[in-house]
Chain A
């Protein structure tokens, strides 16, 4: 017994190393798997406020481009207003419309921390639980999809970017309903990979890809990108497609957090069906 203690004491350096190392690996694995409210990430108030100041400076540098993007989006939305349609009927009556109810609402947020150069990238936004942000909400920008909310603190939230090894988004062609799964191989922040599109589907270079209506996270039809090229894949039943992402991840400053008001209803129903199916 005494010898054992002596052995442990003599190797205390190695033992401390192994202890701390397993602690780090535990953190690392837990961070990849679960959502957490933790002081150890950039939703932490100190880190958040430092990043906030920095983003104010960098935002100023990109002000011109951001303004252009926002005004382009404004123009597109203005075109959808009732005022911009020519009224064909001469009499216009207002009807309290109960045939439609609102499904999505949007929370505007500012990006205060962002990366594109790592294998797993995150963004930090300046909106948190105080503003009604919850984990698993979708995040889009004026040009396309961005990612999914991961952790939320009172004033900040972190977003798992599309540029992350665990990000998988279902995408479909704008002109037909064939859908596949979009992921990122870690190389170029402007290019993603689309898999699971069957061989018989016909498409052209430059075709638009949008989100599907199957996910409860993103609204249907949000722009994702365009087909860049399709590599002929010997064998296999699927196309191997690379996609030009429409969101410029390295230069992103204003985003919208998507609040799906009917998400819990859909998820509850689906999990109920699944659990009944198991019986």
Chain B
């Protein structure tokens, strides 16, 4: 249990640092802003208490907000992601349910499953994020394109991350 908490704390620090130090600095005309730190919320165990998931999501969002001076913005988007996650998991559940210690990952559930899972939650998160950020109907379509192109970038980075780092953690165990 303790080692689980440690492992997740490490992943949290790593992902937030990658987000604020590298990904936040990608300046490609504003249409490609990957927010791959949400991977942290995606890989929490399936059986995590739902309320705990909400609280973790809230603080993850606040941490990223602190670095971007956008207090409340990421927190709000992360909360929606955390709220939607149990439903998405229910929709994607295998026929006889999840094992008690299932952790969503490419190795565990397969590429196709993970891809759908990530895509659904990323798009939900990004749509709320970008609309809250612009908060104007006059920029409706630009914001929509921004949210979708950034979602693509986020999904790509998340899949890369899965292959680069997180599989090794799981294999060692």
Contacts and interface: CB of A to CB of B under 8 A. Distances in A.
Interface of A: 12-14, 16-17, 20-21, 23-29, 31, 38, 40-42, 44, 47, 51, 54, 113, 115-120, 122, 124, 158, 165, 185-189, 250
A189 B31 CA distance: 12
Interface stretch (B36-44, B129-137, B158-166): B129-137
B50 interface: yes
B75 A24 contact: yes
A117 B54 contact: no
Interface in B52-98: 54-55, 58, 61-62, 65-73, 75-76, 79-80, 82-83, 86
25 contacts: A13-B50, A13-B54, A17-B54, A17-B82, A17-B83, A20-B55, A20-B58, A24-B61, A27-B71, A29-B72, A40-B65, A42-B66, A54-B21, A113-B67, A115-B68, A117-B29, A118-B70, A118-B133, A119-B139, A120-B133, A165-B135, A186-B30, A186-B134, A187-B30, A188-B29
Given A23-B72, A118-B70, 11 more contacts: A16-B54, A16-B55, A25-B76, A29-B72, A31-B69, A31-B70, A40-B66, A40-B71, A41-B65, A115-B24, A186-B142
Nearest to B133: A119
Nearest to A28: B72
A64 B14 CA distance: 32
Nearest to B134: A119
Identify the interface centre among A12, A23, A29, A40: most chain B CB within 10 Å of its CB.
A40
Contacts of A16: 51, 54-55
B66 A158 contact: no
Interface in B119-173: 130, 132-136, 139, 142-143
B70 A120 contact: yes
Interface of B: 21, 24-30, 33, 50-51, 54-55, 58, 61-62, 65-73, 75-76, 79-80, 82-83, 86, 130, 132-136, 139, 142-143
Contact of B72 (A27, A124, A250): A27
- Interface of chain B, helix or strand or loop or mixed? helix
Nearest to A41: B69
A29 B73 CA distance: 10
A186 B138 CA distance: 12
Nearest to B57: A20
B27 A117 contact: yes
A24 B58 contact: yes
A158 B69 contact: yes
Contacts of B25: 115
Contacts of B76: 21, 24-25, 28
Contacts of B72: 23-29, 31
B69 A122 contact: yes
A38 B67 contact: no
Contact of B30 (A28, A29, A189): A189
B69 A28 contact: no
